[in-house]
Amino acid sequence: MGDIRGFLNHGRQLPTRRPVPVRLRDWNEVYEPFPTEVLQDQASRCMNCGIPFCNNGCPLGNIIPDWNDLVYRDRWQDAIERLHATNNFPEFTGRLCPAPCEAACVLGINQDPVTIKQVEVTIIERAWDEGWVAPQIPPARTGKRVAVVGSGPAGLAAAQQLTRAGHDVVVYERADRIGGLLRYGIPNFKMEKRVIDRRLAQMEAEGTRFRVNANVGVNVDPSELDGYDAVVLAGGATAARDLPIPGRELAGIHQAMEFLPQANRVTEGDVVADQIRADGKHVIIIGGGDTGADCLGTAHRHGAASVHSFEIMPRPP
């Protein structure tokens, strides 16, 4: 715990968002850069709790108090090592994770919690800038072959770990680009796709191989997987939850995952025939979670005339 008075001296601060009229004109990420000194003040708010609830709250078990302290002490390279010890892709989680660590943070009992997610993303972005995120080539090969089916975050994390353990790993992806929902679900304004491409280049340099347009069970015969010592199934969910109520059959009602992948393809430079667009339309979004929020931002960037969001849960405090 670098500064025992940190949480007394500094309130919680987050990066500013780019102004709405500006960010509606592009698909780039929403947040402005966060000054390093302010970030270190934020890290100093961590109390290095004897029982750090943040660590339990994090599904990855990130060792959060350690890297808060290392950031405060300006030991960024040690911080990224500690962060990578539990998290293959902090640049994804630091942007996208709903941060249950912050909901769990002990400081949050009677103050605003530590800005854990912001510290996380700043550590990894600094590490990329400094060239510390280099390919980790395994020192020895096992001679074992592993197929990973699906290239979402689950498949990518499994593939990276297995490659680094010395296995020969091939990732099969039915889509034309790697990344799963990171690529075709989540819009650029939450995470620009260069963030995925940068990590894929590291993985390829480590030896992971990727096969796109390879739909196992459709255009890839499952018998092809017989030649592997192990197979990881990381195919995600895909099936959308429908709303079978009167009127569902009417025109102009779309699943989010019909609308968002098309918009993401267009931002990648693809041409999508008969794209579902919201220009000039009055839009209703049913469901106010991450997916609903992504539809909201996309509809506004298309130039919707109005957008209303319906949410079953109470308005958050």
Ligand X SMILES: Cc1cc2nc3c(=O)[nH]c(=O)nc-3n(C[C@H](O)[C@H](O)[C@H](O)COP(=O)(O)OP(=O)(O)OC[C@H]3O[C@@H](n4cnc5c(N)ncnc54)[C@H](O)[C@@H]3O)c2cc1C
Q: Is 106 in the site for ligand SF4 (CB under 6 A)?
A: yes
What does the alpha-carbon distance between residue 156 and residue 262 come to, in Å, rounded to a whole number? 23
The three-state secondary structure class of 293 is helix
Give the β-pairing of 209-211 and 282-286. Answer: unpaired
Residue among 11, 33, 61, 98 that touches ligand X (CB under 6 A): 98
Scanning 7-15, 42-50, 195-203, 288-296 for contacts with ligand X by CB under 6 A, the matching segment is 288-296
Q: Which is nearer to ligand X, 6 or 113 (CB)?
A: 113
Which amino acid type is present at position 232? V
Q: Is 186 in the site for ligand X (CB under 6 A)?
A: yes
Q: Which does 127 bind (CB under 5 to 8 A by kind): ligand X, ligand SF4, none?
A: none
CA distances from 273 to 265, 270, 294 (A): 11, 10, 21
Which residues lie across from 286 on neighbouring strands? 310
Q: Which is nearer to ligand SF4, 48 or 309 (CB)?
A: 48
* Nearest Cα to Cα of residue 214 among 238, 242, 178, 182: 178
Q: Which is nearer to ligand SF4, 52 or 207 (CB)?
A: 52
Give the helix ranges, DSSP H, for 106-252: 116-130, 153-164, 181-184, 194-206
Residue 298 has, within 13 A of its CA and on its CB side, a CA count of 30
Residue among 3, 23, 27, 52 that touches ligand SF4 (CB under 6 A): 52
Q: Which residues of 88-106 are buried (b: 16+ CB within 10 A; e: fewer)?
A: bbbbbbbbbbebebbebbb
Q: Are 117 and 132 in contact (CB under 8 A)?
A: no
Residue among 66, 91, 102, 294 that touches ligand X (CB under 6 A): 294
Which residues lie across from 170 on neighbouring strands? 147, 209
Which amino acid type is present at position 20? V
Q: Is 48 in the site for ligand SF4 (CB under 6 A)?
A: yes
292: part of which helix (H) or strand (E)?
helix 290-302
Q: Is 123 in the site for ligand SF4 (CB under 6 A)?
A: no
Q: Is 34 in the site for ligand SF4 (CB under 6 A)?
A: no
* Nearest Cα to Cα of residue 103 among 46, 62, 54: 54
Q: Is 180 in the site for ligand X (CB under 6 A)?
A: yes
291: part of which helix (H) or strand (E)?
helix 290-302
CB of 174 to ligand X, least distance (A): 4
Work out the end-to-end distance of the chain between its first and last CA atoms, rounded to an integer number of angstroms: 30
Q: Is 83 in the site for ligand SF4 (CB under 6 A)?
A: no
In the range 233-252, which residues lie near ligand X by CB under 6 A? 234-236
Residue among 43, 107, 169, 182 that touches ligand SF4 (CB under 6 A): 107
Mask for 207-236, x = binds ligand X (CB under 6 A) = -------xxxx----------------xxx
Residue among 1, 165, 175, 304 that touches ligand X (CB under 6 A): 175
CB of 211 to ligand X, least distance (A): 9
Q: Is 185 in the site for ligand X (CB under 6 A)?
A: yes
What does the alpha-carbon distance between residue 163 and residue 146 come to, in Å, rounded to a whole number? 9
Scanning 43-51, 71-79, 116-124, 146-154 for contacts with ligand X by CB under 6 A, the matching segment is 146-154
Binding site for ligand SF4 (CB under 6 A): 46-49, 52-54, 64-65, 68, 105-107, 114, 116
Summarize as ranges the residues that interact with ligand X (CB under 6 A). Answer: 96-98, 149-155, 172-175, 180-181, 185-186, 190, 214-217, 234-236, 256-257, 260, 290-291, 294
